[in-house]
Structure 1
Amino acid sequence: MTVTTQLWLFTVCSTVSSSSSTVQLITEKLWDSHHSVESKRLPDLLEPMHYTLALKVYHWGNRTFSGRVSIAVRAKEDSSVVFLHCSKLNIFWDSVQVIDSSGTRQHRVVDHKILPGPEMIALVVRPRLIKDVAYNISIEFSGVMAEDEYGLYSLSYSNNGDTHYMALTQLQTTYGRQVFPCLDEPALKARFSLRVARPTNCTALSNTRRISTTLIEPGWVWDEFETTPLISTYILAFAVIDFDYLTVTGPGITFSGDERMVQRTPSSRTQDRVVTTKIVAHELAHMWLGNLVTPAWWDHIWLSEGFATFFAAQATSLIIPDGYVEGSFVAHEHWLSLATDVAPMSRAIYVPVLSNQTLLVFDDHTYNKGACLVRMMQFFMGEMNFRRSVSTYIKTRQFSTSTNWDLLSVLGDTNTVRERLPESVELSEVMRGWLTIVGYPLITITRLSNGTARLEQRLFTYSTSADIPADSFFWVPLSWISETDALSSEPPYRNLWLPPNNSTLQIQDIPNEQYWIIANVQRAGYYRVNYDTNNWLQLARQLQQNHLILTPSHRAQILDDAFHLYCANLLEEDILEALYAYVARELHAVVWKVLYANAHLPYREGIHPKNFMQLRDKLSRLLDV
């Protein structure tokens, strides 16, 4: 806040009689002095340190709740107005108190204003709060449990003909403010001391262990929980249930409403076991990435959801170690992301997010593309380098928040990682395009007659007339293997970097044209590959003669890239026919999963319509669906 604004505000509060119009003028003036109203973010006036929260929940009958919160804060600026998030709550205004931390000086709340747009309340206090002084803000409130599964809500279930009820919370992204007044932004971490009143025939659960139970009245008790470490408001979680014991995640607790979590009989289907294991692993990964280290704002949420999706696949591959999970990632998360993340109809993984848009980034795009980018970094950094760097990142940022650039600064800050990057280029610069550009590149490899190949990149689109920004280029980690490597137990790993421009690059030591090459080994990179006609035909020959020489992931990659290149009118029909000719002998589920997905791919703007319909019909006949 500027000195001028503060002096003006102090003068108004000190000399003008309190009225609703005065409060509105004050709050709007203060609001505008910090940022535009459209951002709906809290003014940077208070730092929360500790919440003491007591809640009594009637999750049956009238489905209401009541409570009291005391928020210990530090003033970051002198101010006569306190802003708190609050939505759909009934505030008992006579109960509101603002007292300095010593308890000796009370600041009268002379008026208040409800700000429905940004979901806040503004408290006008006298005397004003002083920078660097600690205060306690106490408020009593009540509310009605949510109809949907956000905030504090009630669920019912039947058992032997009886209906039972339970209370649960889901505070992500901005639903903490619907349960208690708070500073409801992920970067504003604090400790929480929670008490929950419950019927004696129920059980209360929260992020931490219960440390005491006290009788309130016949049939009701208070459960007090151990104070949490520093967490964001959305990570606070609690439940009141009438059974022992039971996915939303907070440190120390995970809830799940996914029926796939319940397998009443052991399943022999690998896919069932993979899905269930991934759900559990994803939520557990949030204990570190999301809870311990929290994205500073929702535009960085891929740091939580992308990493959790990636590590869920990694953990599941250790539990079900038959190669299915790695191939399944290529056939599902990677396939889905490439199929939908086509410029210009998609969005970048990192885009500015307003407070009322937070749920928009919780989609398959964030989860899947985020996981693909994490997997790509693991490959070009090297697995051990990646593990060490992520461990260092978590230790460095624990109990704090992080941005994209915080992550990349830590991950790229070792000599062993720098040695694997382009010369004199930081990891943050390598990844900038992948985070900020819509879509992904198409790499075209054309073999020349002298043992070299020409590489080019452009943004993949289905239409050459698409309006593409001129600077849509990436640092591309290009890996490849050749037919002469195929029988080796440890084929050589070749890697180079394609710079972010439209220039061509030549690579050496390419096998004779009678042998195929495959770029983007195990589809670790987030891009598609097109080849010269001869190389496509050599790949078709290999699939016809002995497709098992190629891994399931490579077979799925070849068929998938060919499908989408044909839809973009970048591949001839006879080449496509040659590549798909072997499919009747294909037995691997990963390959068929990609074929099935493409057979049901909806038409997208820019796709060559004739090619698309012909190919989808062909796949449908092939699959007999």
Structure 2
Amino acid sequence: MGKAESFDFSDMAKYNSDAELTPGNGKKGCFISVLVGILLFFLVVCLVIGVGLLVYFAGKDKNCSDASAGSESSSVAELIDKCKDLIDNGESSVCDTCRRTTTTIPSSTQSPSAILQNVRLPRAVLPQLYTVELQPNMYDGPPEMFTFNGTVRIRVKCHQTTNNITVHINKLNLTEKIRVTGVDPSDGIHYKNHETDTRRQFLIIYTNSPLLPGHYYDLDLSFIGPLKDDLHGLYLSSYKRNNQIVYAATTQFQATDLRKAFPCFDEPAIKAKFDITLVRKNHMTSLSNMPKISSESRGNGWIADRFNTTPPVSTYLLAFIICDFQYKEDMTANDVRYRAWARPEAVNQTEYALSVGTKILPYFENYFGIPFPLPKQDMIALPDFAAGAMENWGLITYRETAMLYDPQESSESNKQRVAVVVSHELAHQWFGNLVSPSWWDDLWLNEGFASFVEYMGVDHVHPDWKMFDQIVVEDVQDVFNFDGLVTSHPVYVPVAHPDQINEIFDRISYGKGASIIRMMRFFLGEETFREGLKKYLQNLAYKAAFHDDLWFALGNQSAHENKGLNVKEIMDTWTLQMNYPVVKVTVMADGSIQITQKRYLRDYGAVDPLKFVSPFNYHWEIPFTYTTKSNINFNVTDADIHWIHKTDTETISANVPGSDWILGNVMQYGYYRVTYSDDNWNKLINQLDEDHKVFHPINRAQIINDAWNLAKSEDISMTIALKTVNYLDKEKEFIPWKASLRELGYVDSMLERTALYGPFSNFMKKKVSGIFNSSSLSSSNMTHLESFVNTLIAAEACKYGIQSCIDEASRLFHLWMAKPTENPIRSSVRLTVYCSAIKNGDIKEWDFAYKMYQESNVAAEKSRLMIALSCSKEVWVLSRYLQYTKISSEIRKQDATNVIVYISGNAVGRSLAWDFVRSNWDYLLKEYGESSFAFPRLISGVSSSFSTEFEIKQLEDFLKSHPDMGSGTRAFQQAIEKTKSNIRWMDTNYDIVKQWLADQNFL
């Protein structure tokens, strides 16, 4: 297999588009005629065939020129054929456009007007070095008037003759005259005038004479911007100390927000070096990606800190912080200085994250065969942070709940959360930072890999946590639910506008990315996988990658080991089309196994509003494994795989006895569901009832998850799904319980407002009663995973009215109320106790919990209390709590949308939350509509239990009256689809569930 050229942006001459820019009419790609360009556009928009979007970094080298030569008279097909010929002939310098033309079929997520709106920067000049100085002014006056000011000098290299330099800018005002000067004094001063294109966030600076290829120029800009608490760009954070507000300036630049801090070339592939100076008051501390190298006084108590020059880095990975935080410090085994920063009041809570980080960083260094490339690694817990964490190179920023751990106050789940997030962000130091995606359409190369590798890091530190079992319920089964919709999207998806970029920071990029990488690791084998990753990272260090670069590295390693796997051909079926297959396994009369694949959809009648066309007609290359009753084997390897190719039906030679059960997708390594004849389903269910331990816990979870979701899609009867949980009162393992409660929780939400909810609650009470013991609310002698099971069971016991649970929760809570400084409740069950006491109490319990929420110095405890406060049955209390989300002094901005979603999960609060969202839509869109996470989750959260025709009409009417959904556009389309599916589930299964409950004497 030939290796496509990677992107080396140390010399962008090969990847330039045209040198000139007219707003709205920039071109990218191999040079072709206008006619061919129009044809290509209509092919993408109207036919959506596999020619790829010709809008990416294209080359002007000989091969690319050859492909497009004579294009005035060439047809589109001939142009594509020329590109194919270059690749097939093993050319090592094939232009990116040609390569993408033959490998990628995009989803049409953009409207035609969005496709025409070219948001990519021209490549005539590209940055080499930024020299930046920033000074946040947050010490005098009201915070709404806080600003920051700064200067930037961008040294650029010209690659094509041009009369303009175009950079990104957003929400900044220029304060001095722009200068464009040649580094060579003979080049003189070139600034002529400038204009802004606010739609594309462009600053276009025209020169009075052409800039010449090979020459270097300095662009000097001065600016001022607002320092707001909007959680994006360079923003304001705050916290209280002794009732006094303390301010900090911090940053979040992913995906397109460095342009809010200073003008720049704000695209992930356009890497450059940065010299950063931060100006602060003398009682504060400043941090950035690199170590501080000098400080100088600027007078009046101002200090300017200068930091060492960064290596070539993507703009979104920069970080600047000015604060009064303190740190704990340690050295890794490979002598990297590692510091963990937090508010002085919370710095002791950084010790666990520090201990985990210092173990995982050298583990990744050794695993990937590449030393951590920076001289230090800082991590910092911020009071205000939109995401969970951000992988800024050398200065990782965290939400406090994702980094701080107090052994006395935090639970086992809090501990695992910290370990997982630390591992995830450290994985990014290689996947994303060292090797970055060439554009946001390959975001999954960052997030999918980090979401898989995080399990490796935590497993290294805590092997007893069984992280590679947990991935099945935390990622694989979790994302199945999302990816079973026609409003899902492929892992690789073309994006342009920042709203579209923010939309794909979702479960597909993270969870599906992790799941298919896990599958790939399985079918390649661990050593092949590891060696291929090493080569990928080594070959592309400090550069930008397209997903084919990964396939080529892994494919070449597979070929080197004579494994005979075409990695690209396999993985294209998983990354270039959305959804996943359901595999039907049938044992034939002669003992052979017939395999049939089809696309799984939760609702086969749903209509895709985006009209995505699959390049493989929804067929996949499937690594199929199986085990049977008479030949049980759960220790499968890549040698046990039977490949099911892109066909409807295949037959596997075997000799399976007719009396045996057969189980497909052993350990659920494959990203697909499995179904069987009713006879085999019943054999599997009988085995669960007789001796469930015959199946590995992962496959017990798989049987339940597959059956319930195949019932949702009507691939099997709901009766079969219901029977898979009959054995649960004998189950002791976390993974099957987590899978079961996810599905039973769905039934709960569907039946909550019906006459069947009481009988269903009685069923749940019976299943939990055999396991729950009220003394477990106080017991602490448990392993990590035993604690997880105990927490799940306790929550269900109190929720479904087991009186001993409710009484014990009330007793413990009132003991706490009597002595607020001595909380007697074990941390892992505090949320259950808090929620039950507030739900079954009155306003005094709520007010006490809210007071404790405001006073707590432990982020995990604040988070538990914040959730528990949504458990009240009082409408007026929940309404007041909703109003608090608009007051940052009551509920932090980072938490506001979560609170709304928590309230919507309460049967009493569901309609309150939906009404609140609609009546405050303009405010929510303004405050959160640009968010990568908060806004889509708000929409999906408040609508998750909708299941009536009235509710679907409300959604559709609201969408008609509010067509601008910002980053929530896709989430709102998914909300409509899921609501329709819920309605269908109720129509189809209500009577089945009713009869089943009656048959078991619950009705």
* TM-score normalized with structure 1 length: 0.90
Report the CA distance between 1:481 and its aligned residue: 2.0
* Match in the other structure for 1:590: 735
Change (3 A) 1:488 1:332: closer
Pairwise CA distance, 1:238: 1.2
The one-letter amino acid paired with 2:439 is W
Task: Give the one of 542, 546, 552 matched to 1:403.
Answer: 546
| Residue in structure 2 matched with residue 413 of structure 1 by the alignment | 556
- Distance change (3 Å), C-alpha of 1:491 and 1:611: farther
Matches within 5 A, 1:71-110: 71-94=154-177, 96-110=178-192
Q: Which residue of 2 aligns with 1:451?
A: 591
Deviation at 1:77, TM superposition (A): 1.2
The partner residue of 1:47 within 111, 126, 133 is: 126
Matched, 1:364 2:511: no
Q: Name the structure 2 match of 1:394.
A: 537
1:55 partner letter: L
Contact 1:185 1:297 survives alignment (8 Å): yes
Task: Give the distance between the partners of 1:65 and 1:97, measured in 2 at CA.
Answer: 21
Aligned counterpart, 2:414: 272
Mapped partners of 2:722, 2:662: distance in 1: 19
* Kept after mapping to 1: 8 A contact 2:249/2:323: yes
Residue of structure 1 in register with 2:363 after alignment = none
How far, CA to CA, are the matches of 1:613 and 1:409 in structure 2?
Answer: 50
After superposition, the Cα gap between the structure-2 partners of 1:384 and 1:498, relative to the gap in structure 1 and judged at 3 Å, is same
Q: Report the Cα offset of residue 613 of structure 1.
A: 4.5
Deviations 1:502-560 (A, max 9, x none): 2x111122421222222111111111000122321221121111111211111000011
Deviating runs (4+, > 6 A) in structure 1? Answer: 32-36, 487-492, 614-622
Distance 1:87 1:464, change over 3 A: closer
**What's 1:257 paired with?**
399
Listed as ranges, the matches of 1:359-508 within 5 Å are 359-415=502-558, 419-420=562-563, 422=565, 426-466=566-606, 471-486=617-632, 494-502=640-648, 504-508=649-653
Deviation of 1:224 after TM superposition, in Å, equals 0.6
Question: What is the CA-CA distance between 1:579 and the residue it aligns to?
Answer: 2.7
Please state whether the residue corresponding to 2:624 is helix, strand or coil: strand
Amino acid at match of 2:133: A
Contact 1:513 1:535 in 2 (8 A): no
CA gap of 1:160–1:132, structure 2 versus 1, over 3 A, is same
Per the alignment, do residues 434 and 487 of structure 1 end up closer, same or farther by CA in structure 2, a change over 3 Å counting?
closer
> Cα offset for 1:561?
0.4
- Distance, in Å, in 2 between the alignment partners of 1:619 and 1:160 is 59
Match of 1:547 in 2: 692
More strand by percentage: 1
How many Å apart are 1:390 and its aligned residue? 1.0
1:563: Cα distance to partner?
0.5
**What's the RMSD between the two structures over aligned residues?**
2.8
What CA distance in whole angstroms lies between the structure 1 residues aligned with 2:203 and 2:713? 53
Instruction: Report how many residues are paired.
Output: 598
Alignment of 1:99-498 (within 5 A): 99-245=181-327, 246=341, 247-266=389-408, 269-322=411-464, 324-356=466-498, 357-415=500-558, 419-420=562-563, 422=565, 426-466=566-606, 471-486=617-632, 494-498=640-644
Q: Deviation of residue 146 (structure 1)?
A: 3.3
Measure the CA separation in 2 of the matches of 1:146 and 1:433: 44
The DSSP-based 3-state class of the residue aligned with 1:310 is: helix
Q: How far apart, in 1, do the equivalents of 2:435 and 2:424 lie?
A: 15
Question: What is the one-letter code of the residue matched to 1:572?
Answer: S
For residues 466 and 447 of structure 1, do their structure 2 counterparts lie closer, same or farther at Cα, with a shift above 3 Å needed? farther
CA contact (8 A) 2:532 2:554 kept: yes
* Amino acid aligned to 2:158: A
Cα distance, 1:28 vs. partner? 3.5
Aligned to 1:609: 986
What letter matches 1:271 in structure 2? S
CA offsets 1:48-71 (integer angstroms, 9 cap, x no match) = 111111111113433211111111
1:212 deviation in Å? 0.6
* CA distance in structure 2 between the aligned counterparts of 1:193 and 1:67, rounded to whole angstroms: 13
Q: Deviation at 1:610?
A: 3.8
1:379-415 deviations in Å (ceiling 9; x for gaps) = 1111121111112111111100011111111111124
Give me the whole-angstrom Cα distance separating, in 2, the residues matched to 1:179 and 1:54.
10
Cα offset for 1:197? 0.7
- Work out the percentage of aligned pairs sharing the same amino acid: 28
Deviations 1:440-478 (A, max 9, x none): 001001101212010010000234445686711111111
8 A contact 1:72–1:134 mirrored in 2: yes
Rounded to whole Å, the distance in 1 between the matches of 2:444 and 2:634 is 37
**Equivalent position SS for 1:131:** coil
Secondary structure at the residue paired with 1:107?
coil
The letter for the 2-side match of 1:586 is E
Match of 1:560 in 2: 705
Report the CA distance between 1:483 and its aligned residue. 2.3
| Counterpart Cα distance in 2 of 1:340 and 1:196 | 43
Note the C-alpha offset of 1:218: 3.5
Offset at residue 354 of structure 1 (A): 0.4
Question: Do 1:324 and 1:590's aligned partners in 2 also have CA atoms closer than 8 Å?
Answer: no
List runs of 5+ in structure 1 lacking aligned partners: 10-25
The residue type equivalent to 1:180 in the other structure is F
Distance in 2, Cα, partners of 1:27 & 1:477: 50
Deviates more, 1:148-157 or 1:98-107: 98-107
* Amino acid paired to 2:303: V
Task: Tell me, in whole angstroms, the C-alpha distance in 1 between the residues paired with 2:119 and 2:279.
Answer: 33
CA distance in 1, matches of 2:505, 2:702: 27
Displacement of 1:344 in angstroms is: 1.6
What's the offset of the Cα at 1:92?
Answer: 2.6
Contact 2:278–2:306 at 8 Å: present in 1 too? yes
2:154 counterpart SS class: strand
Could you tell me how far apart the structure 1 residues matched to 2:994 and 2:297 are? 69
> What secondary structure does 2:276 align onto?
strand
Cα distance between partner residues in 2 of 1:179 and 1:338:
38
Q: Determine the C-alpha separation between the residues in 2 that align with 1:488 and 1:558.
A: 14
Q: Which residue, out of 518, 524, 528, partners 2:673?
A: 528
Secondary structure of 2:26's counterpart equals helix
Distance 1:448 1:44 in 2: 60
Verify the 8 A CA contact 1:81 1:124 in the aligned structure 2.
Answer: yes
Which position in structure 1 is the counterpart of 2:861? none
Select the residue among 41, 65, 70 that pairs with 2:153: 70
8 Å contact from structure 1 (residues 31, 37) kept in 2: no
| AA aligned opposite 1:68 | T
Q: TM-score w.r.t. structure 2 length?
A: 0.57
Q: Distance in 2 between matches of 1:33 and 1:373?
A: 31
Stretch of structure 1 that moved more, 438-447 or 311-320: 311-320
Check whether the contact 2:401–2:414 (CA below 8 A) recurs between aligned residues: no
> Which range moves more in the overlay, 192-201 or 576-585?
576-585
Answer whether contact 2:119 2:497 (CA < 8 A) is retained. Answer: yes
Instruction: Please name the residue that 2:791 is paired with.
Output: none
CA distance in 1, matches of 2:634, 2:503: 46
8 A Cα contact 1:205 1:240, kept in partner: yes
**1:337 Cα shift?**
0.6
